[in-house]
Structure 1
Amino acid sequence: MPRSIDAPTPIAASDTETDKHSNAWYDHDGNETVSHTCVSSGSDGSHDKLEKAPLSRGRSIALVITLTGAAFINTLSAQAVVIILPAMGKTLNIPDSRLQWIVSAYSLTFGCFLLLWGRIADIFGKRFIFIAGSIWVTLATALNPLMPNEIAFDFFRGLHGLGAAANVPTAIGILGVTFPPGKAKNYAFAAYGAGAPLGSIFGSIISGIIAQYSSWKWVFGFMAIMAAAISIAGFALIPNSDDSPTLAAALQGGSVGARLKLVDWTGGALITVALIALLFALTEGNVVGWQTAWVSNLILVSLLLIVAFFFWQRRLEKKPDGRPPLIKVSVFKNRQFTAVMFIMGLFFASFNNFLVFATYYYQDYLGYNPIQTMLRFLPTGVGGIFVSFAVAFLLSRVPTAFMLICGTFSVSIASLLFAVPIPITTSYFAWGMWAMLLSVVGADITWPCLTFFTSQALPAEDQAIGGALINAVGQMGRAIGLAIATAIQTAVLAHERGVSVENVGAVQELDYASLLSIRIASWFNFAIGVTAMVIVCIAFRKMEVIGRIAPEPDAEGVKEEHELRSRA
């Protein structure tokens, strides 16, 4: 008989007051530890309607692989095109100054539509939105390399990001409501958390191999095939739910219109336009110059829209009988939840910048070809697989604060190794390999802890928007961090070459100014990683084990945890 995952048991709130807006057990002064934060249960005593029947062990594993695939292909899609940018620019006649938009068009739509798609998924059903988003990604990716010119190509990259914004946060929501607290959920979130950093790493590896031996168009072909497999697997594996209406039910009962009225379109428009303005300004700032008037004006407008969004969400939250807000702003009164958002932004900026500037170092400064660059990144892919399994085991045994400190410290040291003046003749195995391994150790430890905490801190009905929020914060951190690091690198290059920022040019092979600019930018990446670690030390110094497996009640009370583990 196949081993099954038991149906979830709701966690009772003892003497701690339940927050009426979030249904999570914590005090708004932020003094409670995460052990008092849990996923709320429905009034019927079930964890969520998605888990009506136990899932077999095989189906659970296949489901986790499918959902992890969404996070994996998302970051792979952003990183894979970096190595093949010159080839795409040559084929499509795109000047170097606009090549960045092949990357930015995807990141822009992905980051800006996350929150809106997350709330739509919570209202219309996570299964439906995940499958629809995955199909959208498949079609956009398959058609992308067929576009004949720059505008059409960038447009389909944007469409690709729009689909990813639908299925990535929804995957977190499905995990959060499908698996009850316990060992299975720990392994599920550890696997999912490893998917995003591994996607960034394997993006460079896979793209390098394909670019070396075939056309760059097959990079998109590979992603389309993978997205199609995720779509099919999602349809077959994700449990059905009554709150995910079929098309027939929607047409007969008019449920689509009723559900559309539950979406906060005003808030969605405010935050989407704000993020589009902010990301566009950050993307173009290093191209046209930060002193350009419209760049600073656009940033100011985006900040004002974010403030307006905050007050609009607070207004909706104070009306419990009205339309629900996209985000319950009261959750940010919890110190640890707010700290998690800051840590995610800083950590992802540090990790993403490390990958970008490591690519600059090997491919542009040292002049390695794509396959040689890929080989330098190979330890991250191999090491990341082993680390993800170790993290799943440690989530229920090691204090989360200690894991987060180790994770942010590892990412910081990886950047530090590229910042210090190590002679370029030094063997790769003496320092480069260790930097790669430390980066993936840090990423595969930190990401699962942060996503798991976010899921545990929100009720079942907000799981998809929680996934959207943590991803949106990561995207904002990535965009802001890369913009600042690039500005620092460009300023150093301009100073060393004695030219203006607008005429600085690119990183050149074995050029001292280029090497110095990469090292100083890496100092910045090290600094933001250390800042994330400091926040962990301050906010989570009393944090317990977030993935601790609760003891099961018996006829005489509660069993000791070591008995539970010995029986497991």
Structure 2
Amino acid sequence: MGKALDSSGLCTPSEPIPVSDKQQGYDVDLTVQPPSAFKAIALTSVCTLSMLIVSVTTSSSQISLPVVGAELGIREDQLQWILSAYALSSGCLLIPFGRLADLYGRRMIFLVGCVFQGAFALGCGFANDLVTISVLRGFQGLGAAATIPASLGILAHAFPPGNARSLAFATFSAGQPLGAGLGFAIGGLLTEFARATWRSMYFVVAGLSVICIVGAVLLVERDHPSTEQDKRVDWLGVVLVTVGLTLVVFVLSDGEIAPRQWSTSYIIALLVVGVILTVAFFVWQWYLERPSVRQRHSRWTPPPLMKISLWCRGNGRFAAMQCIVFFLMCAFQSWTMWAVLYYESYQHYSPVLAMIRMLPMIPAGILCNVFIGLLVGKIPGVIIIAIGCLCTGIAGLLFAVINPAATYWAFGFPAAVLTVIGADFVFAGGSLFIAKLAFPHEQSLAGGLFQTMAQLGTAFGLSITTIVFDRVRARESLIYGVVIDSEGSNAPREAQLHAYQAAQWTVLGFGALASLIAVVFLRGVGVVGGPHKPNPSEDDKSENEKTMTTAVEV
């Protein structure tokens, strides 16, 4: 079957597959039959649980950091490695694992990811020093890198375009903010009241992973063999993108706490090397995708790990969606971190009291999931995504003007509700949009790329807001005649408040920028859920004619 572009720029089954894909054996009937109601619920539940586990382990680790530092004697400026090690591995290996899932089976990659997630979470529960727990967290992140793209591929292949697919993707996407809320809740309770304190949460994650493994073995069917004739993996591309992104994310995570901050020699060197390797990856993928190269079947010309043309799908809207999720996650994860630190470090609340103030994220996420599932096939995608991004930005605005003496219901509660709207709307709508633009053999890869941009956005947002926080705190402290120490523990209370507010102003900027990109580049995209309605526009017809002409020429 082929694919065409409808008036929204989305793929529909009426146009011949581009010649480069035909030559690799993709022109086959890949019609998807709807699963039974039981099967649909079971598959969606297993995949959503995997996303929830990823989010739970992140937020629960975040809220327990002060206790971990006190128990293991870890300096405050080094605690971030417990979070960064997981983000490095999970964010930088999503693309390779997405490709492997498309090639060798999403079920197998999903199971491998669940095993890694559970086994190394269990190991973290017994760690007694920073190096051990950071290394184990890095290996645990491999599980997230495997399960997320595999889950997206499983859902995309199990559900044909329609309302059922919209609901499945909305439910899966809800696992992100719901997991964050549950992680804060359970993590805060266990850290304060459980005998094993912060270690308990890692044991819970290991148990959830076992449930996910059992569910996948019983409910997820084995994949059909890949239709690609050339199943080789571009291992050079894997090395380039993994090392390049790892170095970039490392610099973003470590730049502000390095000995001389961003002017530290190794920070500058690693940033340069990381950018060069990442650019080299894109150049290498462009080279491998060229028709003249694809015709030469040699050991040095495997299929590209990620086609550069993928970014141009939907008249460039695929690339726009990647930018949107990047800046949205800059805002969402930064708001979450600075809100928790505001409650615990500025207001001096216990983990449980801080957790209680984050609890509205859970019911808000459930309501957003219901809304998306029912209406994503009826409301234009640009409205859903733009409003979602703006809501997360407004959550930052509320904390940017927060009055510490005011009631929680004036600032904290509405912010906790609004920030989830952005995450739910963008992840659900964006995942559906990406799934429609990707060919059947690209579903896990496209989903992995979407999640990679989300992880990079998280690292970038935390880095930028940390810079803003540190600079404002130091400047404001000088106004009060205080030179702060390396950890900023002696900063005046007023200077701390202004620093927290400045970080949240930055969150507002990220959310507003994501919303602006949606309004400008997703105009006319139509609904992103529901069944396809082929109605090619003149621009898309012209594009189709070019594709057919290319096929004849080759």
Determine the structure 2 residue equivalent to 1:324: 303
Q: Distance in 1 between matches of 2:147 and 2:13?
A: 24
Shift of 1:509: 9.7
Give 5+ residue unaligned stretches, structure 1: 1-9, 17-24, 27-31, 246-254, 553-568
Matches for 1:509-524 after TM superposition, within 5 Å: 511-524=493-506
Q: 2:242 aligns with which of 267, 272, 289?
A: 272
The residue identity in structure 1 corresponding to 2:164 is: A
Shift of 1:447: 1.2
Q: Distance in 2 between matches of 1:85 and 1:533?
A: 32
Shift of 1:429: 1.1
Determine the structure 1 residue equivalent to 2:265: 293
Matches for 1:501-516 after TM superposition, within 5 Å: 503-506=485-488, 511-516=493-498
Stretch moving more, 396-405 or 322-331: 322-331
Q: TM-score of the superposition, structure 2-length normalised?
A: 0.87
Matches for 1:470-485 after TM superposition, within 5 Å: 470-485=450-465
Q: Distance in 2 between matches of 1:146 and 1:275?
A: 30
Shift of 1:462: 0.7
Pick closer, same or farther for the CA change 1:217–1:331 going to 2, 3 Å.
same
Q: 1:201 aligns with which of 176, 181, 188?
A: 181
Shift of 1:497: 2.2
Shift of 1:505: 2.0
Q: Distance in 2 between matches of 1:502 and 1:437?
A: 35
Q: Secondary structure at the match of 2:93?
A: helix
State, as a whole percentage, how many aligned pairs show the same letter.
31
Matches for 1:183-222 after TM superposition, within 5 Å: 183-214=163-194, 215-222=197-204
Q: Are residue 45 (structure 1) and residue 29 (structure 2) matched?
A: yes
Matches for 1:176-187 after TM superposition, within 5 Å: 176-187=156-167
Determine the structure 2 residue equivalent to 1:263: 233
Q: Are residue 369 (structure 1) and residue 350 (structure 2) matched?
A: yes
Number of residue pairs aligned between Structure 1 and Structure 2 = 510
Q: For 1:529-559, what per-residue CA distance to the aligned partner results, in whole angstroms no more than 9, with x for missing partners?
A: 101111111011212111133479xxxxxxx
Stretch moving more, 454-463 or 327-336: 327-336
Shift of 1:145: 1.3
Q: Distance in 2 between matches of 1:390 and 1:38?
A: 28
Q: Secondary structure at the match of 2:405?
A: coil
Q: Distance in 2 between matches of 1:38 and 1:496?
A: 59
Q: Distance in 2 between matches of 1:361 and 1:525?
A: 14
Contact map agreement 2:105 2:222 (CA 8 A) in 1: no
Contact map agreement 1:497 1:504 (CA 8 A) in 2: no
Matches for 1:82-231 after TM superposition, within 5 Å: 82-214=62-194, 215-231=197-213
Q: Distance in 2 between matches of 1:76 and 1:411?
A: 20
Q: Distance in 2 between matches of 1:221 and 1:55?
A: 34
Q: TM-score of the superposition, structure 1-length normalised?
A: 0.85
Determine the structure 1 residue equivalent to 2:542: none
Matches for 1:406-425 after TM superposition, within 5 Å: 406-420=387-401, 422-425=402-405
Pick closer, same or farther for the CA change 1:331–1:438 going to 2, 3 Å.
same
Q: Secondary structure at the match of 1:34?
A: coil
Q: For 1:361-400, what per-residue CA distance to the aligned partner results, in whole angstroms no more than 9, with x for missing partners?
A: 1111101001111110111111111210111101111111
Q: 1:403 aligns with which of 373, 384, 399?
A: 384
Give 5+ residue unaligned stretches, structure 2: 18-25, 535-554
Q: Are residue 240 (structure 1) and residue 222 (structure 2) matched?
A: yes
Q: Secondary structure at the match of 1:146?
A: coil
Matches for 1:350-499 after TM superposition, within 5 Å: 350-420=331-401, 422-498=402-478
The residue identity in structure 2 corresponding to 1:539 is: F
Contact map agreement 1:38 1:457 (CA 8 A) in 2: no
Pick closer, same or farther for the CA change 1:497–1:486 going to 2, 3 Å.
same
Determine the structure 2 residue equivalent to 1:5: none
Q: For 1:75-104, what per-residue CA distance to the aligned partner results, in whole angstroms no more than 9, with x for missing partners?
A: 221121111112222332222221111111
Determine the structure 1 residue equivalent to 2:512: 530
Q: Are residue 337 (structure 1) and residue 321 (structure 2) matched?
A: no
Q: Secondary structure at the match of 1:320?
A: helix
Q: Are residue 34 (structure 1) and residue 9 (structure 2) matched?
A: yes
Considering only aligned residues, what root-mean-square deviation do their CA atoms show, in Å? Answer: 2.4
Q: Distance in 2 between matches of 1:473 and 1:97?
A: 26
Q: Distance in 2 between matches of 1:535 and 1:501?
A: 40
Contact map agreement 2:11 2:438 (CA 8 A) in 1: no
Shift of 1:476: 0.7
